[in-house]
């Protein structure tokens, strides 16, 4: 039995046992498999964490685009008519809504992202999207549109964080006649670079809080503990404290904003080796399999075989003889198609995998079996079912 196991371990190494720990093997058998880099690589703290409160804010607003060449909303779009009528009244122009023609006007939703620490007067990009019947916003101009945080009441004081306005750039077009049309890209959506001016700064407590929280993008107790350790070793005990798998509290120094920025910059530059759970992620639709570096397999025997069904069609000549009542003999020929079905079963391949092999050895073993992505997924599911796959199996 031991010789059998040793032979199974040599099936992918040309008959000689060589350690593969730390190596990533190329895979090229008609499906995609990715081996994640080992968790032991050092990365900066800033690449795996974010500072609580230092984040972007989503803004949204409702506006009107004018100056279109007959590609605006239809007359049946009532909210566009109401919006245009209200806009005219704000400029002391009284107009009957029934007399309004909106073919050169479109109702739009304007969205923007307010970056952290954006100051008054800063400019940000906005995205303009048609919400009516307008087919093309090309050549239009967005009228002044207030932007607010999601859920903010328009009547609430100080709810306006930015004002968007300016000419629109769609990057596409729509043209056509009665029988044909041509559309390039998405002309009903447009972007205005630097199209909004920040009117109000997003509140932040970065400059006043005695401590900041580092939020791990991939929560893990081991990684949080390592961040705590490297910060305390660098800046002294009690400089940091891991509160849970996703949060590390860092005590900020006194001395003003400049000292806080300098200190946090040094913290973000520290390097640690993040840890991650053993996990295998697969996507059966695309044939992609990603294995983490910590994936291990207990001793198991894997067998794989294919059943091939082949059907062939060929034409045959059918000869029919008949004797008429007069005694004459006739012969007729007809072409018919006959089908032949054959079944071929390939012999199964038996492979033995030793306990504790690395992800590189697992990939090498699966390559030797010569299986497809779907077969790989089935094998991984079976290994997980029998308890031989020491990793979490996740389907996308």
- Does position 339 have pLDDT exceeding 90, yes or no? no
- Does position 242 have pLDDT exceeding 90, yes or no? yes
Q: Tell me the average pLDDT across 99-108.
A: 86
Angle formed by the axes of helices 373-385 and 359-369, nearest 10°: 120
CA 381 to chain centre: 24
Q: Tell me the average pLDDT across 21-47.
A: 55
With bands split at pLDDT 50, 70 and 90, how would you rate the model's confidence at 203?
A: confident
Q: Tell me the average pLDDT across 66-94.
A: 86
What phi, psi does 334 have (nearest 5°)?
-140, 140
The dihedral built from the CA positions of residue 99, 103, 109 and 112, taken in this order, carries a sign that is negative
Q: What is the pLDDT of residue 6?
A: 41
* Least confident window among 34-43, 68-77, 162-171, 232-241: 34-43
Provide, for the chain, the percentages of residues in helix, strand and coil under a 3-state DSSP scheme, each rounded to the nearest 5.
20, 40, 40
* Least confident window among 73-82, 122-131, 173-182, 190-199: 173-182
What is the average pLDDT value for the chain, to the nearest integer?
Answer: 77
- Does position 255 have pLDDT exceeding 50, yes or no? yes
Angle formed by the axes of helices 257-269 and 221-235, nearest 10°: 120
Q: What is the pLDDT of residue 60?
A: 95
- Does position 331 have pLDDT exceeding 70, yes or no? no
| Cα maximum dimension of the chain | 124
CB of 73 closer than 8 Å to CB of 155: no
CB of 214 closer than 8 Å to CB of 144: no
Q: What is the pLDDT of residue 161?
A: 94
Q: What is the pLDDT of residue 13?
A: 37
Spatial neighbors of 268 by CB under 8 A, at least 6 apart, are: 44, 45, 46, 49
What phi, psi does 73 have (nearest 5°)?
-70, 155
Number of neighbouring beta carbons within 10 Å of residue 50: 13
- Does position 116 have pLDDT exceeding 60, yes or no? yes
Of the segments 31-35, 88-92, 127-131, 315-319, which one has the largest average pLDDT value? Answer: 127-131
pLDDT tens for 258-286 read: 888 899 999 999 999 998 888 888 888 88
Q: What is the pLDDT of residue 62?
A: 94
Pairing of strands 32-35, 288-291: parallel
Q: What is the pLDDT of residue 329?
A: 61
pLDDT tens for 162-185 read: 999 999 887 655 555 445 455 555
With bands split at pLDDT 50, 70 and 90, how would you rate the model's confidence at 10?
A: very low
Number of neighbouring beta carbons within 10 Å of residue 9: 17
Taking the C-alpha atoms of residue 79 and residue 69, their distance in angstroms, rounded to an integer, is 20
Taking the C-alpha atoms of residue 266 and residue 44, their distance in angstroms, rounded to an integer, is 10
The dihedral built from the CA positions of residue 117, 120, 121 and 124, taken in this order, carries a sign that is positive
What phi, psi does 252 have (nearest 5°)?
-90, 150
Q: What is the pLDDT of residue 2?
A: 38
Taking the C-alpha atoms of residue 263 and residue 266, their distance in angstroms, rounded to an integer, is 5
pTM of the model: 0.62
CA 305 to chain centre: 35
Q: Tell me the average pLDDT across 316-323.
A: 60
H helices of the chain, in order, are 2-9, 78-90, 221-235, 257-269, 359-369, 373-385
The more confidently predicted of residues 360 and 131 is 131
b (16+ CB within 10 A) / e for 320-330: eeeeeeeeeee
């Amino acid at each position: 039995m031991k010789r059998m196991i040793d032979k199974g371990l040599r099936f992918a190494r040309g008959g000689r046992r060589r350690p593969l720990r730390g190596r990533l093997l190329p895979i090229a058998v008609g499906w995609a498999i990715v081996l994640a880099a080992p968790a032991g690589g050092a990365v900066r703290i800033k690449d795996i964490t974010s500072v609580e409160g230092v984040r972007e804010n989503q803004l949204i607003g409702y506006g009107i685009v004018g100056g279109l060449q007959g590609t605006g909303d239809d007359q049946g779009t009532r909210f566009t008519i109401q919006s245009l009528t209200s806009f005219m009244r704000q400029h002391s122009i009284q107009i009957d809504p029934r007399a309004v023609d909106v073919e050169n006007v479109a109702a739009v939703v304007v969205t923007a992202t307010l970056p952290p620490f954006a100051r008054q007067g800063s400019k940000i990009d906005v995205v303009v999207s048609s919400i009516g019947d307008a087919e093309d916003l090309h050549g239009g101009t967005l009228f002044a549109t207030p932007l607010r945080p999601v859920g903010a009441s328009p009547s609430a004081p100080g709810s306006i964080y930015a004002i968007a306005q300016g000419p629109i750039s769609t990057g596409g077009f729509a043209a056509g006649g009665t029988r044909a049309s041509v559309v390039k890209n998405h002309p009903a959506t447009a972007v205005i670079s630097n199209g909004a001016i920040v009117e109000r700064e997003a509140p932040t407590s970065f400059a006043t809080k005695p401590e900041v929280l580092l939020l791990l993008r991939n929560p893990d107790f081991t990684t949080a503990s390592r961040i705590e350790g490297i910060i305390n070793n660098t800046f002294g005990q009690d400089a940091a404290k891991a509160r849970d798998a996703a949060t590390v509290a860092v005590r900020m120094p006194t001395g003003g904003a400049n000292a806080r920025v300098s200190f946090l910059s040094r913290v973000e530059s520290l390097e640690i080796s993040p840890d991650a759970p053993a996990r295998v992620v697969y996507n059966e639709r695309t044939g992609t399999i990603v294995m983490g570096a910590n994936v291990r397999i207990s001793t198991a025997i894997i067998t794989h075989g294919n059943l091939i069904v082949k059907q062939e069609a060929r034409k045959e000549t059918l000869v029919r003889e008949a004797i008429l009542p007069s005694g004459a003999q006739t012969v007729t020929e007809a072409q018919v198609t006959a089908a032949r079905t054959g079944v071929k079963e390939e012999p199964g391949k038996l492979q033995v995998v030793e306990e504790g092999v690395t992800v590189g050895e697992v990939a090498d073993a699966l390559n030797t079996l010569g299986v497809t992505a779907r077969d790989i997924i089935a094998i991984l599911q079976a290994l997980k079912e029998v308890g031989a796959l020491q990793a979490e199996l996740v389907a996308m």
